[in-house]
Structure 1
Amino acid sequence: MSTPLEVEPGSQSAQPEAVLDGVKKIEGRSLWQISWTRLKRDKVALAGGVIVLLLVLVAIFAPLICKAIGITPNDFNQKLVDSSLQTPIGKLGGISWDHPLGVEPVNGRDILARVIYGARISLLIAVLATTVSVVIGVVMGIVAGYFGGWVDSLISRLMDIFLAFPLVLFALALVGAIPDSILGLEGDALRVALIVFIIGFFSWPYIGRIIRGQTLSLREREFVDAARSLGARRPYILFTELLPNLIAPILVYSTLLIPTNVLFEAGLSYLGVGVRPPTASWGDMLSIASKWYQVDPMYMIPPGLAIFVTVLAFNLFGDGLRDALDPRSR
């Protein structure tokens, strides 16, 4: 046996609180705090996020910005256009203090104002279409991954069918077949709703496959077995236990899906099935620029650069967000 420790009379043993006094307490961090710390270290992703935020603000406050600058998107300035050549007067496409990016050929509409207003259409359609596809894809993916069996087989074959659709050709045919007014919608509202439906309804299988794969892994975890053993119903398990653990891939894929939809909307507008003129759209501006690039090549740069910066910013931010939310990254 060991000899008991002898304590001198009058001495006092140190209390645990006294020993720990002055020692910095270690606080636990949640997954979101850890992810935010990782994201702050990625300067490129932060730069992309800042650009995305600025684009959103420009789209929201487009009327106020144009009013403050003193430009309008649809006013004709034919006095700034050469009547014989139908090209802007002056160098570099008619760039001046009043028109920082110049004016369009033929009608002389301000390019900067149309680029700013074009951001509203592109981001509005991209965000709404992404929301529709994410909602449908997440629901179908969770149901297919959790239930398995014939339910999984049916939804998976449905995904294959939608992925086999020639989306561009279908959009061209559908836009041409839809009347000018339907369900109380007409004009630009009808075109926006139609494009959102086409993109969102036919692109959900992409995220649906990802969510299905994640659900197949999560349904075997202990917390799902615990909820099932306590008598939890299937909707509770799907949307209370599984869905919160799928937020990370949903956020990451959404940020990568938005630029894809921006490009798709621009492509439809370029082909003439997007919003109707005179509503500004980046794709429509590129379509007009393609007819005048030999005599006015500067007109192609602003809308093309706007699309390039938007897609690049979303992709950079999405890549950084994916790395930040990946628990296996260091």
Structure 2
Amino acid sequence: MTAPLDVSGSELEAAPEAVLDGQAKAIQGRSLGQIAWMRLKRDKVALTGAGVVIFLILVAVFAPVIVGLIGHPPTDFNQDLISSETMAPKDGTGIGWDHLFGVEPVNGRDIFSRIVYGARISLLIAFLATLLSVVIGTLLGVMAGYFGGWVDSVISKTMDVFLAFPILVFAMALSGIVQQSDSAFGLTGDTLSVTLLIFIIGFFNWPYIGRIMRGQTLSLREREFVDAARSLGARGPYIIFREMLPNLVAPILVYSTLLIPTNILFEAALSFLGVGVRPPTPTWGGMLSEAVRFYTIPHFMFFPGMAIFITVLAFNLFGDGLRDALDPRAR
């Protein structure tokens, strides 16, 4: 026989006072959003990336205010700072309190102001192109995965065609042709260039997220809640928009944060090749393209290059941390 438990003293004394008084609080459940936020808060690297992303967005939004306080208009020339013999800044860089990042060779434009304004173009194109890709890719991917059959076959083969398409060559050709004219599609100037880049980058990148959404939908359509909706008489559109899409929010958010830096690099590449936004409108890729001719003046290339590097790294770190926070298998 086992000895009886002795609860006369130590066991009762070790119990919390709230339990003894009958005042213990009920355990509160946590939503998936709260669990994800708790995980994300523990990831200091991801939070740092998110902070940098928010800072860059604020810089882009308030670019005119920032330049008005500590900069110069991005298209103004400062020929007095340029040597007439070497066409380089007289003191080598032009860096000082008036020009925090120095000035460009030949024309003496303020590099700091052009980088701040360049953030507006790069982030605007990246965000809107990503939004276009996500909308098209999500809708077509979910339709392919849910309906299957000939719908899945047509959409999947279309994805294969887009993935095999030489998008960079097409973007260079289309941008070069359209930008030779002063107006097209009722648009002119920078508005035409930005809209064209958003369309090219966003429209031809949707198959990447489309394949992910198709795979997720193939898994979700066999789940119990989808069968329950069908048994109650729900039709396809209702199941897609009310049952499946809410369960695809997590992968959509994660992939979007990883697609934005890719689009930033693609816009920079097009501007570097001379088929992006036309000068003198500042873009980070355009500044790098101009800096190639002056490789002996390193600051001219360093600052726009670091702007691209920091922006892409911040989005990647935040996206990686967000993926871990939203992973249901993570602890």
- 1:244 corresponds in structure 2 to 246
Over 6 Å off, 4+ runs = none
Whether the aligned pair in 1 keeps the contact of 2:272 and 2:285 (CA below 8 Å) is: yes
- 2:109 corresponds in structure 1 to 109
- 2:167 corresponds in structure 1 to 167
Give, in angstroms, the shift of residue 149 of structure 1.
Answer: 1.0
Whether the aligned pair in 1 keeps the contact of 2:71 and 2:99 (CA below 8 Å) is: no
In structure 2, what residue type is equivalent to 1:115?
A: I
- 1:292 corresponds in structure 2 to 294
- 1:42 corresponds in structure 2 to 43
Give, in angstroms, the shift of residue 176 of structure 1.
Answer: 2.1
Whether the aligned pair in 1 keeps the contact of 2:133 and 2:203 (CA below 8 Å) is: yes
Deviation string, structure 1 residues 130-169 (Cα, Å, up to 9, x no partner)? 0000000000000000001111111000000000111110
Give, in angstroms, the shift of residue 71 of structure 1.
Answer: 1.8
- 1:15 corresponds in structure 2 to none
Give, in angstroms, the shift of residue 70 of structure 1.
Answer: 3.9
RMSD: 1.3
Please say if 1:210 is aligned against 2:212.
Answer: yes
Deviation string, structure 1 residues 246-298 (Cα, Å, up to 9, x no partner)? 0000000000000000000000000001111110000000001110012x121
**Residues 29 and 171 (structure 1 numbering): CA distance in 2 closer, same or farther, change over 3 Å?**
same
Give the stretch that moved more between structures: 203-212 or 167-176: 167-176
- 1:306 corresponds in structure 2 to 307
- 1:96 corresponds in structure 2 to 96
Give, in angstroms, the shift of residue 183 of structure 1.
Answer: 2.3
- Out of 256, 264, 267, the position equivalent to 1:254 is 256
- 2:8 corresponds in structure 1 to none
Please say if 1:270 is aligned against 2:272.
Answer: yes
Superposed, 1:173-184 pairs within 5 Å as 173-178=173-178, 179-184=181-186
Whether the aligned pair in 1 keeps the contact of 2:71 and 2:113 (CA below 8 Å) is: no
TM-score (normalised: structure 1): 0.93
Deviation string, structure 1 residues 87-114 (Cα, Å, up to 9, x no partner)? 01114x1101100100000000000000
Please say if 1:76 is aligned against 2:93.
Answer: no
Identity %: 68
- 2:55 corresponds in structure 1 to 54
Cα separation, 1, equivalents of 2:271 and 2:133: 20
- Out of 271, 278, 281, the position equivalent to 1:279 is 281
Please say if 1:185 is aligned against 2:212.
Answer: no
Give, in angstroms, the shift of residue 25 of structure 1.
Answer: 1.8
- 1:26 corresponds in structure 2 to 27
In structure 2, what residue type is equivalent to 1:303?
A: P
- Out of 221, 229, 232, the position equivalent to 2:231 is 229
TM-score (normalised: structure 2): 0.92
**Structure 2 gap ranges (5+):** 1-18
SS in 2 for 1:83: coil
Deviation string, structure 1 residues 39-74 (Cα, Å, up to 9, x no partner)? 000000000000000000000000011011142211
Whether the aligned pair in 1 keeps the contact of 2:137 and 2:210 (CA below 8 Å) is: yes
